[in-house]
Amino acid sequence: MTAPICLVSMPFMPGTMPALGISLLKAGLARAGHDCDLLYGSTLLIEALAEGSSFDQALRDYQLVGTSGHLGDLLFAPAFWGKPDLIDAVRGRLQAAAFCLPAAERDPFLERLDPERQRMEQTLDRAFAARDWRQFRIVGFSSTFAQSLASLALARRIKLAAPDTMILFGGANVDGTMGAALLASFPFVDAVLQGECDHSLPRLVDAVLTGQPLAGTPGLVMRGMANSPSVPVTDLDGLAVPDFSDFFAQLPPGWRQDQFMLPFETSRGCWWGERSHCIFCGLNGDGMAYRAKSPERAIAEVDRLQSDWQVRRFWAVDNILPRPYFDTVLPALGQRDLELFYETKANLADGQVAALARAGVTRIQPGVESLSTRLLRIMKKGVSRTRNLQLLRSCQMHGVDPLWFYLYGFPGDTEEDYLDDAALMPLLVHLPPPRAINPVTVDRFSPLFRATGMTLHPQQEHRLAFAGLSDTAAADLCYHFDAQVGPADPDRYQPCLAAALAHWQARYRAGAQLEAHIGCTVTLLFDTRDADGVQLRMLSGLMHEVHRSVQDGASPALIAERCRGNAADPDPEDLPIVIAAASHGASFAPEVRTIDEALDWLEAAGLVARDGTVCQALALPRLSMLVALQLGLEAQTLEAMPVDP
């Protein structure tokens, strides 16, 4: 039976996983009695790139382009607009992206992706030849982020060859006013389906096949027809399990099982955004209302996908991890041999990070964004410097990789906000650093976008990608904008931040450590943050008590309460620590008489960070086993390690 609809995912969607949206829609259409074909242009491009190198190299090149803003759109621009003068601009943006590569890899990368090598045109030729497009009543394009130009280029070819076929666009690139702008700029696009399409797409297919009126289809935007608002799904448990069969059937030769992961979805919306919308977040343009799958359904779906496709790596597309899952889903997933990614909030307790690690969540995106409490409040993040430091410390201790970026350029910022963070960074080189330092972008649908008094400019790649349109039309299609948001001049602080980050990343890659063995009456600190070598310090008496009292951040009043009468004489159980310190030449912290003296010394030694009046210890609160073996404290370290429940 011929399928009435084909859904297309063009570059640059992630190359290492299926497209969840169209895979979920295919399964939903099957429930409604409609066959659906899927086409992956991404695999065709990776295959074309592999012809000049290897599959592994092609996949790396594809991923680098796909994660570099609108660069993926820009690569298709010269051919789409018939503007060969854009090629030099494409080369320039490729060179900028290649700066993240080692020097020896930059020139080969630029050669492989040279815009005159016609890889993009070749991909469009193969995608067009892959189907007889006249057989479909509807061809739908999923367009999010850098998928616009490739999708439009193929859509134009299809419309010329099959004028009676409805060309439909959906995805984040057509939300809000962008949908009408797409129809106004590209006459070969017939319709846009906005919002969550799980129920509206089967309804649209029914109407097209039976000749019923299309008006009233939720989220459908067409020329000359009144729009009906999209309707979010309320019962996520009622959705079908996504069908990934097309992705695996279309993979080019050379792929390995360990290169791929499966996307999965356990919630929509954002429970934090319902309460406090982060000012730069433009996600959930169709609505912030938070909905989550039941724990039973979430666990069953992961089990089903793992069984069907024999892939153990999973990527949650949720904006934020459902809070009840710590007590339900995560313990169950810990019984599977899986590797998972989740987006979370940054205010996770140490026990919650440990629970993530036990569940196989090896990477999270926690939205750390900054180390300045003042800027975090401006962002409406609901966290502080202290909470962010606690999270980074917990992630390092439990082996969870936090994916985060340091952002700058916010309303009301000052130069001192960033210079203060830059001064702190050398003390944090034993903790996971940000991937990069980036200016905040103004995303459509974000509170920043709705703010007044700013002049917004589409980002450079976007302006070049839509070079065939007027500036106004290009801006109407844009999701990411540049603007001078904050009053502080980035030229006065950004170089300092960049230098501090480079040092942080280099020392972290070199294995810098700051670890503490905390006994009853003494603390031994192992410190290799300085490249000159190991520094051992012994804390005793009140210094030990004050340091121990700020493990989870504490105000002066709380420190005083925890230290009252606790500067005890040496405990016999601490004798191995004292022996280890003496035998390895540890320096002994001075004896102090007051808490303030202790805090001043600990801060000067780089062992605590202040956040207003709150002090936070920086060392990991236990030794790694290699360090414990080196110091002869392996038995004591094993005793101090928590036992998994």
pLDDT value of position 567: 58
Stretch 290-306: mean pLDDT, rounded? Answer: 97
pLDDT tens, residue by residue, 248-289: 999 888 788 788 899 999 999 999 999 999 999 998 777 789
Which of 21-30, 117-126, 634-643 is the least confident region? 634-643
Name residues whose C-beta falls within 8 Å of residue 610's C-beta, 6 or more positions apart in sequence.
603, 616
Instruction: Tell me: pLDDT of 564 over 80.
Output: no
Q: Identify how many contiguous H helices and E strands the chain contains and give both numbers.
A: 28, 24
Token reading at 298: 């979430």
pLDDT value of position 36: 97
Instruction: Tell me which of 285 and 28 has the higher pLDDT.
Output: 28
Please check whether residue 209 is in contact with residue 29, taking contact to mean a CB–CB distance below 8 angstroms: no
pLDDT value of position 103: 86
Percentage of residues in the chain with pLDDT exceeding 70? 98
Instruction: Tell me: pLDDT of 638 over 90.
Output: no
Q: How far apart are CA 347 and CA 353, in angstroms?
A: 10
Q: Average pLDDT over the chain, rounded to whole?
A: 93
Q: What single letter denotes the amino acid at residue 75?
A: L
Please check whether residue 197 is in contact with residue 219, taking contact to mean a CB–CB distance below 8 angstroms: yes
Could you tell me the pLDDT band of residue 548, with boundaries at 50, 70 and 90? very high
Stretch 452-467: mean pLDDT, rounded? Answer: 87
pLDDT value of position 21: 97
Stretch 43-48: mean pLDDT, rounded? Answer: 92
Residue 404, number of CB atoms within 10 A of its CB: 23
Q: How far apart are CA 44 and CA 250, in angstroms?
A: 8
Could you tell me the pLDDT band of residue 645, with boundaries at 50, 70 and 90? low
pLDDT value of position 283: 86
Instruction: Tell me: pLDDT of 2 over 80.
Output: no
Q: How far apart are CA 331 and CA 489, in angstroms?
A: 47
Long-range contacts of residues 174-178, Cβ cutoff 8 Å, at least 24 apart: 174/143, 174/221, 175/285, 175/286, 175/444, 175/445, 176/285, 176/444, 176/445, 177/476, 178/444, 178/476, 178/477, 178/478, 178/479
pLDDT value of position 101: 86
Cis peptide bond N-terminal to 12, omega within 30? yes
Residue 360, number of CB atoms within 10 A of its CB: 18
Residue 567, number of CB atoms within 10 A of its CB: 18
pTM of structure:
0.94
Stretch 119-126: mean pLDDT, rounded? Answer: 93
Instruction: Tell me: pLDDT of 1 over 50.
Output: no
pLDDT tens, residue by residue, 478-536: 999 988 888 999 999 999 999 999 999 999 999 999 999 999 999 999 999 998 889 99
User: Which residue from 338, 342, 196 is spatially nearest to 265, judged by alpha carbons?
Assistant: 342
pLDDT tens, residue by residue, 599-614: 999 999 999 999 999 9
pLDDT value of position 566: 61
pLDDT tens, residue by residue, 5-24: 999 999 999 888 999 999 99
pLDDT tens, residue by residue, 189-202: 999 999 999 999 99
Could you tell me the pLDDT band of residue 328, with boundaries at 50, 70 and 90? very high
Please check whether residue 366 is in contact with residue 392, taking contact to mean a CB–CB distance below 8 angstroms: no
pLDDT tens, residue by residue, 505-516: 999 999 999 999
The Cα-based distances of 492 to 407, 495, 501, 505 in angstroms read 15, 7, 16, 22
Please check whether residue 333 is in contact with residue 367, taking contact to mean a CB–CB distance below 8 angstroms: no
pLDDT tens, residue by residue, 381-419: 999 999 999 999 999 999 999 999 999 999 999 999 999
Instruction: Tell me: pLDDT of 432 over 60.
Output: yes
pLDDT value of position 61: 93
